């Protein structure tokens, strides 16, 4: 390819990018003008978009694009100058021209220029109805392509990683916008994978630092023991040679102590900085994959408008939360279910204009689509102001299809009735049309949402409309999970499926019709053992209580008994090797901070396993505790923190491991507790009212009775200077609160004072 050909290819690609951006402006503006033809700002935006496309097409020598954009610009200028009032037929034609421009700009589209002549004739008739001859520039007339100005010649910048503003803007360096580069999705995925692995690798420094800290403490204990030995020997008449050898040993130990302290401090600082940078790298890589929710809406407003007109309805789509950031993979996979729901709402939900007027509603139907972040999820709500669901008709359809007996259907709640709409092949439309009635309905939408590890719920108000509530992860690359232990291995439950976690007393478990249940907040919850579901060894011995993860499927709650709750984690998803096929009850894998593998549970698959065990009568019984081991002395821990949530979290976390835990609301409260009771460990926050954690640790180290009490500082502050302040005050361990959800807190406690039983 010659340099001139390369330049032309680059220009065509830039024109395609500009057409993509400007046709979006045209589509949105024309839909707004259909509602209010006199909107000056929208007229100006559309006219400028058409003008820009005309100039860009002239630069790259696409004569058909020049002709189409030119006649569209003429129409919009006439509307601006009040020589023409835009009517629906004008909007129809301008939207057709918008589509035609996009086809012309798409490389390799065989139909790109096929409809140009007919479009120009149509526009000429609309602009001058009295004339039968099209006055607009003909597609056959060659317009000499203008050469690009030196300032407009394309550079090395291409656009793809960010929304395209315009090719010209890219060529000029942005005109105030950001400089963007083309990056393939595979490259972004690779970058995210590498950054996530680097983040995991930095966590592997923690055990080495903990070992150094332990060596430092052991070294200090050895030096104190030698000091005591030397004092005894000096008074016992030992020879000068022995005392000198002992003094030499102490000097060597002193030197090694300084080296050990310096190495521990260096490793601590390096580990902290490496973790911060790896986290920043991962966050940046993840942000590159995030896109505004508006990206999935391209063409949706137009589709709603065109479909409504084809059905004789006037429908407007209102969108809230267009800037909500979502992973590009999630956006791509949301396009099909959202399109189906919108078409369904226009066809099934919104009534005809006559029926709306008779019902006292505005003649224009309304669809409202809202997107927002909530607890690590993307929450979508699609609400229409249509007729809602005819529940009596739905009941009749369920009975006619022999899906349930009439007596049972009559007793069903509204939610139970609406769930039938998600069954394969179920439709309330009696006649098959191009839009509905083919049996490919909400079941397909539900399947696509569940493939995104999400959920969908339908509610309705008769005569007023329906609401679809959808929750999906913001990204498929990471998943917020609760990590548990089953059969001495780690598994993760996605938080989106978890209702709550509970400690269920063994005596509260009851047997009902061959199944174990427990009561919670007035309802009974079925209980199953995770060890049986995941084919892991059952725990040995009996316990006084069970750790239970409560998961929800629709209105049904299930309790899954696990051995231990490790804590909440944000996991980087690692797909399973496709050669393994579908692994039962498992969706993917991830790495924990120590580099060990955790399997992420496929909750829906797990629930199908529960149903299978129930239907075959093979669900095993979970043995209840007998109360053995009571009365054994337990080590006592005092937790001092002004946050109720943090206090309770630490109390429960340590309590499940057998420690006896007392709490204090601030440093003063904690100091009073320490002076009045005996504890094996103090865990304290730093920032607290009345007396902060640094003051509390300082008082503890000055008290002869408490100076040997192990002290751990747990704080939100994770800066090096904050860590140094805590350790210099006399703390034995400093832990950031971001880590205490997992084993880090428990491991630190065990390291400082050992297990729970004395």
Could you read off the pLDDT of 429-442 as tens digits, one per residue? 655 454 543 334 78
For residues 192-206, give the mean pLDDT: 75
The answer to whether position 195 is within a domain reads yes
In degrees and rounded to multiples of 5, residue 296 shows phi and psi of -80, -10
Domain boundary among 473, 498, 532: 473
pLDDT of res. 73: 92
Q: Where are the alpha helices (DSSP H) in 235-363?
A: 240-289, 300-310, 328-344, 353-358
Same domain assignment for residues 228 and 273:
yes
Domain boundary among 146, 171, 196: 171
| % of the chain with per-residue pLDDT over 70 | 82
CATH assignment at residue 646: 3.40.50.2300
CATH assignment at residue 83: 1.20.120.160
- Collapsed DSSP state (helix, strand, coil) of residue 110: coil
Same domain assignment for residues 603 and 521:
yes
Give the Cα separation of 638 and 664 in Å (integer).
Answer: 7
Same domain assignment for residues 540 and 646:
no
- Let me know how long the chain is: 758
The answer to whether position 280 is within a domain reads yes
The model's confidence at residue 671, banded by pLDDT at 50, 70 and 90, is very high
CATH assignment at residue 197: 1.10.287
Look at the block and give the residue holding tokens 């002869």.
Answer: 704
In degrees and rounded to multiples of 5, residue 585 shows phi and psi of 70, 5
Same domain assignment for residues 318 and 437:
yes
Q: How many CA atoms lie within 13 A of 706 on its CB side?
A: 24
Q: Is the pLDDT of residue 32 over 70?
A: yes
User: Could you tell me which of 36, 61, 32 has the C-alpha nearest to residue 49?
Assistant: 32
Q: For residue 16, is it left (φ>0), alpha (ψ between -120 and 50) or beta?
A: alpha
Same domain assignment for residues 336 and 363:
yes
User: Contact, 601 vs 612, CB < 8 A?
Assistant: no
Q: Is the pLDDT of residue 35 over 60?
A: yes
Helices (H) and strands (E) in the chain, counts: 23, 23
Give the Cα separation of 588 and 580 in Å (integer).
Answer: 11
pLDDT of res. 177: 62
Of the listed ranges 472-476, 534-538, 613-617, 618-622, the one predicted with least confidence = 613-617
Residues 6+ apart with CB under 8 A from 44: 80
Same domain assignment for residues 464 and 482:
no
DSSP 346: I
Q: Is the pLDDT of residue 646 over 60?
A: yes
Domain boundary among 450, 473, 496: 473
For residues 540-567, give the mean pLDDT: 81
- Collapsed DSSP state (helix, strand, coil) of residue 488: coil
User: Measured in whole angstroms, how far is the alpha carbon of residue 374 from the centre of its chain?
Assistant: 9
26's tokens: 């045209």
pLDDT of res. 545: 79
The answer to whether position 122 is within a domain reads yes
Same domain assignment for residues 319 and 417:
yes
The model's confidence at residue 384, banded by pLDDT at 50, 70 and 90, is very high
The answer to whether position 621 is within a domain reads no
pLDDT of res. 564: 87
The answer to whether position 350 is within a domain reads yes
Which is higher by pLDDT, 140 or 48?
A: 48
The answer to whether position 181 is within a domain reads no
Q: Cα angle vertex 468, ends 466, 474, to 5°? A: 160
For residues 343-364, give the mean pLDDT: 91
Give the Cα separation of 480 and 483 in Å (integer).
Answer: 10
Of the listed ranges 147-151, 541-545, 652-656, the one predicted with least confidence = 147-151
Q: Are strands 455-461 and 365-374 parallel, antiparallel or unpaired?
A: unpaired
pLDDT of res. 629: 38
| Residue 228 domain boundaries | 187-289
Same domain assignment for residues 34 and 101:
yes
DSSP 502: E
Give the Cα separation of 708 and 697 in Å (integer).
Answer: 11
Longest dimension (CA), the chain: 129
Q: Which residues is 711 bridged to in the sheet? A: 682
Look at the block and give the residue holding tokens 């696409």.
Answer: 62
What is the number of structural domains in the chain? 5
pLDDT of res. 718: 64
Same domain assignment for residues 606 and 643:
no
Same domain assignment for residues 331 and 443:
yes
User: Measured in whole angstroms, how far is the alpha carbon of residue 229 from the centre of its chain?
Assistant: 60
Burial of 36 (0-12, 13-18, 19+ CB in 10 A): exposed
Same domain assignment for residues 362 and 421:
yes
What one-character-per-residue DSSP string does 513-579 give?
A: TTEEEEEETTEEEEEEEHHHHTT-PPPSS--SEEEEEEEEETTEEEEEEESEEEEEEEEE-BPPPGG
The answer to whether position 538 is within a domain reads yes
Give the Cα separation of 668 and 671 in Å (integer).
Answer: 5
Taking residue 151's Cβ as centre, other Cβ atoms within 10 Å add up to 8
What value does the mean pLDDT of the chain take? 79
For residues 5-10, give the mean pLDDT: 50
The model's confidence at residue 522, banded by pLDDT at 50, 70 and 90, is confident
The answer to whether position 428 is within a domain reads yes
Same domain assignment for residues 48 and 74:
yes
Q: Cα angle vertex 316, ends 104, 20, to 5°? A: 20
């Amino acid at each position: 390819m010659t340099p001139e050909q390369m330049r032309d290819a680059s220009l065509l690609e830039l024109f395609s990018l500009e057409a993509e951006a400007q046709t979006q402006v045209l589509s949105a503006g024309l839909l707004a003008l259909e509602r209010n033809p006199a909107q000056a700002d929208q007229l100006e935006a559309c006219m400028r978009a058409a003008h820009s496309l005309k100039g860009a097409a002239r630069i790259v020598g696409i004569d058909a694009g020049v002709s189409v954009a030119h006649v569209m610009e003429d129409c919009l200028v006439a509307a601006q100058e009040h020589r023409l009032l835009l009517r629906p037929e004008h909007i129809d034609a301008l939207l057709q021209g918008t589509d035609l421009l996009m086809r012309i700009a798409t490389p390799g589209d065989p139909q790109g220029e096929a409809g140009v002549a007919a479009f120009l004739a149509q526009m000429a008739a609309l602009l001058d109805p009295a004339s039968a001859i099209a006055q607009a520039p003909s597609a056959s007339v060659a317009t000499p392509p203008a050469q690009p100005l030196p300032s407009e010649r394309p550079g090395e910048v291409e656009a793809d990683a960010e929304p395209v503003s315009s090719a010209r803007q890219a060529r000029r360096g942005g005109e105030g916008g950001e400089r963007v580069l083309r990056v393939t999705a595979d490259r972004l995925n690779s970058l995210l994978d590498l950054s996530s692995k680097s983040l995991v690798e930095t966590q592997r420094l923690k055990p080495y630092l903990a070992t150094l800290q332990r060596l430092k403490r052991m070294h200090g204990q050895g030096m104190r023991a030698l000091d005591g030995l030397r004092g005894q020997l000096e008074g016992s008449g030992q020879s000068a040679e022995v005392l000198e050898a002992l003094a030499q040993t102490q000097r060597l130990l002193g030197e090694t102590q300084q080296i050990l302290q310096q190495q521990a401090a260096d490793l601590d600082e390096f580990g902290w900085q490496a973790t911060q940078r790896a986290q920043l790298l991962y966050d940046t890589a993840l942000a590159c994959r995030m896109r505004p929710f508006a990206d999935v809406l391209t063409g949706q407003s137009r589709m709603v408008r065109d479909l409504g007109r084809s059905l004789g309805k006037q429908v407007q789509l209102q969108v809230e939360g267009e800037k909500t950031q979502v992973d590009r993979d999630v956006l791509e996979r949301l396009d099909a279910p959202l399109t189906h729901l919108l078409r369904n709402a226009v066809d099934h939900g919104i009534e005809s204009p006559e029926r709306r007027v008779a019902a006292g509603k505005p003649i224009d139907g309304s669809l409202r689509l809202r997107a927002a972040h909530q607890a690590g999820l993307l929450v979508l709500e699609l609400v229409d102001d249509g007729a809602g669901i005819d529940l009596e008709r739905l009941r009749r359809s369920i009975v006619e299809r022999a899906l349930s007996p009439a007596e049972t259907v009559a007793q069903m709640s509204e939610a139970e009735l609406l769930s039938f709409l998600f069954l394969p092949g179920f439709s309330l439309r009696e006649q098959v049309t191009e839009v509905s009635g083919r049996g490919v309905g909400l079941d397909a939408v539900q399947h696509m949402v569940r493939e995104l590890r999400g959920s969908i719920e339908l509610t309705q108000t008769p005569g007023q409309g329906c609401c679809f509530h959808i929750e999906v992860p913001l990204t498929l690359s990471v998943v917020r999970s609760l990590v548990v232990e089953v059969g001495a291995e780690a598994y993760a439950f996605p938080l989106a499926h978890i209702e709550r976690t509970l400690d269920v007393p063994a005596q509260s478990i009851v047997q009902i019709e061959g199944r174990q249940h427990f009561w919670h907040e007035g309802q009974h919850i079925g209980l199953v053992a995770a060890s049986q579901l995941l084919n892991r060894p059952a725990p040995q011995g009996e316990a006084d209580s069970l750790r239970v993860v409560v998961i929800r499927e629709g209105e049904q709650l299930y309790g899954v008994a696990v051995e231990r709750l490790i804590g909440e984690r944000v996991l980087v998803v690692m797909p399973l090797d496709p050669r393994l096929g579908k692994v039962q009850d498992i969706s993917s894998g991830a790495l924990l901070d120590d580099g060990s593998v955790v399997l992420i549970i496929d909750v829906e698959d797990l629930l199908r396993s529960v149903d299978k065990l129930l239907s075959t009568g093979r669900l095993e019984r979970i043995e209840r505790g007998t109360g053995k081991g009571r009365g054994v002395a337990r080590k006592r821990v005092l937790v001092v923190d002004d946050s109720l949530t943090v206090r309770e979290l630490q109390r429960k976390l340590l309590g499940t491991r057998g420690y006896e835990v007392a709490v204090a609301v601030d440093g003063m409260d904690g100091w009073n507790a320490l002076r009045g009771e005996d504890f094996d460990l103090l865990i304290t926050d730093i920032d607290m009212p009345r007396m902060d954690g640094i003051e509390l640790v300082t008082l503890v180290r000055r008290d002869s009775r408490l100076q040997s009490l192990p002290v751990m500082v747990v704080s939100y502050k994770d800066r090096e200077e904050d860590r140094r302040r805590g350790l210099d005050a006399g703390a034995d361990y400093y832990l950031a609160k971001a880590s205490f959800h997992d084993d880090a807190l428990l491991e630190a406690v065990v390291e400082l004072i050992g297990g729970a039983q004395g």
